[in-house]
């Protein structure tokens, strides 16, 4: 009897996923990208709260796998992150694509930290095309290297939710404590100055061509990311309003 119930639930889930795929054409899908410490996660969270989109952070997906500490993959990813290296395309693409068909992403997705290079951009286009969907906008956060390094050295994270803070620019209400849960915040090993310099260098090499790629599609929006959280969000929001949202 239990097997019949499980089969019925799985059949319903597959049918519902099919309906979701048909509705993807009405989605709003946004990319927000920029160098490490540019504020992608913070801005993506604020956008998702306003227009009720699914926030998919490639960094958080990776950290979740590392935190599980239950496979060779988690160990390999930790070694790459600690060294400031980028995660191989096939791994991060698989992690993200598995989330796109979830119920929470039915209205569309904000892709935070992905794509990082042209190959990933092409792959994302293919993933969305397979779901009768497409990108609405690509937001590029621009910020000087010296500002990035200063920002990153003060970043704080709530591991479970991915919420981000900064000791100077966006401090929690209580020092080293998450505003929502009251749990202790942490700093990441890959936010050390030497590691962040390496990450910025790798980012520039890999992500440099993205601007031309999305500009050719007419969806690129450049935003100055050097202000405080709210002023940057206002610029991001104004840039998004230049596009047509259904």
DSSP-derived letter for residue 87 is P
Helices vs. strands in the chain: H and E counts, helices first: 10, 7
| Residues facing 165 on adjacent strands | 156
Q: Is 72 exposed, middle or buried (0-12, 13-18, 19+ CB in 10 A)?
A: exposed
Pairing of strands 137-142, 54-57: unpaired
- Give the alpha-carbon dihedral of 170, 173, 177, 179, to 10 degrees: -90
The rounded distance, in Å, linking the Cα atoms of 233 and 17 is 33
Question: Which residues belong to the active site?
Answer: 40, 116, 155, 188, 199
CA–chain centroid gap for 160, Å, is: 15
Six-digit token string for 159: 């591991």
Residues 6+ apart with CB under 8 A from 59: 41, 112, 113, 162
DSSP-derived letter for residue 231 is H
The rounded distance, in Å, linking the Cα atoms of 124 and 96 is 10
Phi, psi at 159, each rounded to 5°: -60, -45
CB atoms within 10 A of CB 168: 9
């Amino acid at each position: 009897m239990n097997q019949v119930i499980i089969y019925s639930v799985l059949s319903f889930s597959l049918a519902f996923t099919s309906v979701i795929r048909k509705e993807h054409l009405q989605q709003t899908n946004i990319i927000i990208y920029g160098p490490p410490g540019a504020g992608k996660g913070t801005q993506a969270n604020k956008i998702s709260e306003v227009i009720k989109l699914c926030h998919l952070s490639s960094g958080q997906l990776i950290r979740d796998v590392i935190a599980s500490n239950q496979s060779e993959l988690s160990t390999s990813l930790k070694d790459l992150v600690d060294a400031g290296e980028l995660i191989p395309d096939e791994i991060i693409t698989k992690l993200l694509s598995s989330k796109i068909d979830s119920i929470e992403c039915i209205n569309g997705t904000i892709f935070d930290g992905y794509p990082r290079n042209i190959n990933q951009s092409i792959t994302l286009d293919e993933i969305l095309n397979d779901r009768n969907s497409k990108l609405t906008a690509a937001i590029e956060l621009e910020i000087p290297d010296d500002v990035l390094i200063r920002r990153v050295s003060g970043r704080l994270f709530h591991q479970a939710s991915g919420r981000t803070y900064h000791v100077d620019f966006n401090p929690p209400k209580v020092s080293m404590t998450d505003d929502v849960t009251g749990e202790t915040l942490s700093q990441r090993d890959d936010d050390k100055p030497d590691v962040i310099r390496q990450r910025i260098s790798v980012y520039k090499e890999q992500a440099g061509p993205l601007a031309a790629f999305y500009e050719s599609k007419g969806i690129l929006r450049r935003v100055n990311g050097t202000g405080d959280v709210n002023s940057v969000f206002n610029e991001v929001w104004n840039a998004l309003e230049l596009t047509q949202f259904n």
